[in-house]
Amino acid sequence: MSVHLANYKSEGLKQSNLIKKILWYYTNIIIFKTGLFPFYKFKIILLKLFGAKIGKNIIIKPCINIKFPWNLMIGDNVWIGENVWIDNLTLITIGNNVCISQGAMLINGNHNYKSVNFDLMLLPIIIENGVWICAKSIVNGGVTVGENAVLLTGSVANKSLEANSIFQGVPALKVRDRIFNQ
């Protein structure tokens, strides 16, 4: 047995308007993926025009990549750091008071390595309120990051993360409870 990529089909990937996809592709390159436009309010307007649902008080730093804004929901008081990659082939939901630090990746498209056709698998990501996704960490499809959880630097979440907990490693494992100072 071997993989036969000639038979690959992107089944399950919502086919949106081709013109919309092309317009977003160039908008993403010119405005979002560059450091030339640090104006996050303008970026928020563009994301909303392309169908993203965005809350209040959002900071979007330079040099980020967003695959499809129409598959993105962001709550209030959210910080998205430099070089964040949001590869949202299907819905990614980000709650309120969330920090996604530099170089983090949210990836909800993957492939079935057991299939000779390398079938596309799409699973949503849910990041609940108060979460911190630290620098260079990865959240994969099908993961819910529980309220107030922390995914430490360079860690990979392949499974849902328990609320009020701190996770570290590859794969991410709980290392302790998250306790706030009063």
- Taking only the tens place, the pLDDT of each residue in 118-173 is 888 899 999 999 999 999 999 999 999 999 999 999 999 999 999 999 999 999 99
pLDDT (0 to 100) of residue 18? 87
pLDDT for the residue 15: 63
- 127 and 167 Cβ atoms separated by less than 8 Å: no
Q: Burial, 5: exposed, middle or buried (Cβ in 10 Å; 0-12, 13-18, 19+)?
A: exposed
When divided into structural domains, the chain yields a total of 1
For the cut 80, the answer to whether the pLDDT of residue 12 exceeds it is: no
Q: What CATH number did the domain enclosing 147 receive?
A: 2.160.10.10
Which residue range is the domain that position 27 belongs to?
17-175
pLDDT of residue 5: 79
Q: What is the mean pLDDT of the chain?
A: 93
Question: Is 11 part of a structural domain of the chain?
Answer: no
Beta-bridged to residue 6, according to DSSP, are: none
- Identity (one letter) of the amino acid at 161? L
126 vs 6: which has the higher pLDDT: 126
Is residue 10 assigned to a domain? no
Is 42 contained in some domain? yes
Residue 157 CB partners (closer than 8 Å, separation 6+): 137, 138, 139, 140, 143, 145, 151, 167, 171, 172
> Quick one: pLDDT band at residue 2, thresholds 50, 70, 90?
confident
pLDDT of residue 39: 81
Give the HSE-up count for residue 178: Cα atoms under 13 Å, Cβ half-sphere.
19
Could you tell me the strand order of the sheet in which 144-145 lies?
Answer: 53-54, 72-74, 92-94, 125-127, 144-145
Contact 87, 109 (CB under 8 A): yes
Share of the chain above pLDDT 90, in %: 79
